[in-house]
């Protein structure tokens, strides 16, 4: 029996948690692990996608402080299952003054093909939600933190979804997507009759900006950027209607869809599923570009018919998109 939305589908143990993703792919649902950080007179609640969490353990008894630890954000290094893992103090990274009211927990995560650990005050439970319930920050909440990607109300409290990718990319710039102005950004050059028209969906302003710069720097690509899968779907429907009205082919307006997976409103899996189920849109290549692309989770993209899957910040997808579009243009 499938658990009801809002109910925990994985029991959290104080000692550890081996995560097992129980969700069907493409339903626009997510499992959010709720954690908290204790401050002097306040407890802040935050959420991370369970798909990123390998397990939860008590605070390691032995850690080694690296000499180049950045501003106290890195608590140290510790050995876990024969692997040395970097431990990040999540409260310090969020610029919060935490107090230790109980023994802390450590989340061991894997995304961007990197295993990292985050120290938190504690964890509560896992919630099954839809991405429609997760709202992007706007208005007065927009200045809460650039480390937050969205907010959801759970059990009468606000839970802020964290951008953990931002944390590790700040510690290791090699894990950040380079803009075209970066000194070490790898140049690319394609000889095309006309630019490849890309619809790019990502909830991160920085990633949208840098991907657009990289794709458009040599006039090989033309990019329309939107903030989530919902906006991407609306955009595709509008393009389809315009093509009908003008008696033109859909590919006159868009060649490929490039999408993140985790996005408030509609996630990338659900967007891909809807595109592939539409009789006119299904020939459009859909490429998933996300920190969640791992060998363990690749089957999820395959289940919704994704044409390609690339882990951020791997920009090998540029050549992959070119080959897909060139092949289709030659066949037309």
Q: Which domains does the chain have, with CATH numbers?
A: 29-173 (2.40.50.180), 177-331 (3.40.50.2300)
Residue 102 CB partners (closer than 8 Å, separation 6+): 38, 121, 122
Which pLDDT belongs to residue 257?
Answer: 97
| pLDDT band per the 50, 70, 90 thresholds, residue 3 | very low
| pLDDT band per the 50, 70, 90 thresholds, residue 299 | very high
Higher per-residue confidence, 25 vs 35: 35
Indicate if the pLDDT at residue 245 is higher than 90.
yes
Indicate if the pLDDT at residue 278 is higher than 60.
yes
| pLDDT band per the 50, 70, 90 thresholds, residue 175 | low
Higher per-residue confidence, 142 vs 290: 290
Which pLDDT belongs to residue 191?
Answer: 58
Least confident of 76-85, 172-181, 237-246: 172-181
The overall average pLDDT reported for the chain is: 84
pLDDT digit string (tens) for 44-60? 999 999 999 999 999 99
Which pLDDT belongs to residue 148?
Answer: 87
The pLDDT > 90 percentage for the chain reads: 53
Whether residue 313 has a cis bond before it, omega within 30° of 0: yes
Q: Where are the alpha helices (DSSP H) in 69-204?
A: 90-93, 164-171
Q: What is the dihedral of CA 94, 96, 100, 101, to 10 degrees?
A: -110
List the 83-89 sheet strands across, edge first: 53-58, 105-111, 114-120, 83-89, 74-80
Cα distances (angstroms) measured from residue 194 to each of 133, 180, 249: 40, 21, 15
* Cβ 101 vs Cβ 122: under 8 Å: no
Higher per-residue confidence, 269 vs 143: 269
Indicate if the pLDDT at residue 163 is higher than 50.
yes
Which pLDDT belongs to residue 10?
Answer: 36
């Amino acid at each position: 029996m499938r658990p009801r939305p809002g109910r925990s589908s994985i029991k959290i143990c104080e000692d550890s948690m081996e995560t097992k993703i129980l969700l069907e792919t493409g339903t626009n649902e997510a499992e959010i692990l709720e954690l908290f950080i204790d401050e002097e007179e306040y407890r802040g609640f935050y959420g991370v996608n369970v798909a990123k969490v390998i397990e939860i353990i008590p605070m390691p008894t032995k850690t080694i402080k690296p000499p180049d630890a950045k501003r106290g954000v890195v608590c140290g290094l510790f050995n876990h299952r024969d692997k040395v893992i970097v431990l990040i103090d999540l409260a310090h990274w969020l610029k919060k003054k935490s107090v230790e009211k109980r023994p802390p927990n450590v989340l061991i995560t894997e995304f961007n093909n990197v295993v990292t650990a985050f120290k938190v005050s504690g964890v509560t439970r896992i919630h099954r939600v839809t991405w429609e319930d997760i709202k992007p920050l706007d208005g007065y909440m927009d200045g809460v933190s650039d480390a937050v990607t969205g907010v959801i109300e759970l059990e009468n409290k606000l839970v802020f979804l964290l951008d953990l990718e931002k944390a590790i990319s700040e510690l290791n710039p090699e894990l950040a997507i380079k803009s075209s102005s970066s000194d070490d950004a790898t140049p690319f050059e394609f000889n095309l009759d006309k630019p490849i028209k890309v619809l790019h969906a990502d909830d991160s302003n920085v990633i949208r900006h840098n991907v657009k710069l990289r794709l458009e720097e040599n006039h090989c690509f033309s990019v329309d950027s939107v903030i989530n899968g919902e906006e991407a779907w609306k955009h595709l429907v509008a393009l389809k209607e315009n093509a009908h009205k003008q008696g033109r082919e859909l590919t006159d307006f868009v060649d490929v869809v490039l999408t993140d997976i985790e996005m408030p409103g509609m996630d990338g899996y659900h967007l891909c599923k809807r595109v592939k189920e539409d009789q006119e849109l299904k020939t459009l290549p859909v490429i998933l570009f996300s920190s969640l692309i791992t060998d363990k989770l690749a089957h999820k993209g395959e289940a919704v018919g994704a044409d390609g899957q690339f882990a951020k910040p791997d920009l090998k997808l540029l050549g992959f998109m070119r080959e897909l579009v060139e092949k289709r243009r030659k066949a037309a």
